Amino acid sequence: MALLALSLAVAALAGSVQASLFPDRYAYAPCSLLKELEENCQVKSRLGKNNTDGSYKGLLMYFGETDCRVSIEQCYPKSHCYSFRDLTFQLPSDFTIAGSTGFFKKFKIISGGRNATITPEGVSFIATNDKVLVEYTTVTCGEFYRYHGRIPVQLCNQPIEAITDTWCGQSFYAL
């Protein structure tokens, strides 16, 4: 009888862990961005785009992607600035974004580019080669909701519409 009670208690505990109100806000996720060869100087997400009506058709990404590398290919070297917008910048914020880097904690050019700039509004860079290799890290869920705590439903284990397609020819500052 005691064994049955213990089994039921363990089963109940396991069920409550899955339905916890406190998701793992520091979990790390697999890399979502991949090289895109059908369009010049683009990336794509293995998670796809948000294609719902009223969305920005942005690429879906996870919180906590760490030290991910992606090759951005078929760029025009030396003559164009490339950029993409951080769509999370438009979400409600609890206080001034000072100190926040936006959705990306790190965006570093490994080879084929220069002048990578990261702000809460997006990322821009100049290609010096037709292939630009970058390394990026996204914020964890806890870091993100530190700045965007007023968002009513905080889903840490779901992808978020994070960035636009890459734009060619101008920095996001000019948009």
User: What pLDDT shows up at residue 164?
Assistant: 93
* Nearest by Cα to 65 from 50, 51, 45, 84: 45
Q: 83-92: buried (b, 16+ CB within 10 Å) or exposed (e) per residue?
A: bbbbbbbeee
User: What pLDDT shows up at residue 131?
Assistant: 95
Pairing label, strands 104-111, 113-119: unpaired
Q: Locate 93 and state its tokens.
A: 């914020």
Q: Locate 125 and state its tokens.
A: 């860079």
User: What pLDDT shows up at residue 44?
Assistant: 95
CB atoms within 10 A of CB 127: 24
β-strand partners of 42: 36
> Across residues 124-143, what is the average pLDDT?
93
User: What pLDDT shows up at residue 143?
Assistant: 87
Hey, is 14 helix, strand or coil? Answer: helix
Instruction: With a cut of 70, say whether residue 145 has pLDDT above it.
Output: yes
pLDDT in tens, 55-88: 889 999 999 999 999 999 999 888 778 999 999 9
CA 44 vs. chain centroid, Å, equals: 12
pLDDT in tens, 10-52: 334 344 334 344 455 556 788 999 999 899 999 999 999 998 8
Rounded Cα distance, 87 and 56, in Å: 8
Hey, is 158 helix, strand or coil? Answer: coil
Rounded Cα distance, 149 and 151, in Å: 5
Q: What is the DSSP string of 27-61?
A: --B---EEEESSSTTEEEETT-B--STTS--PEEE
Specify the pTM. Answer: 0.79
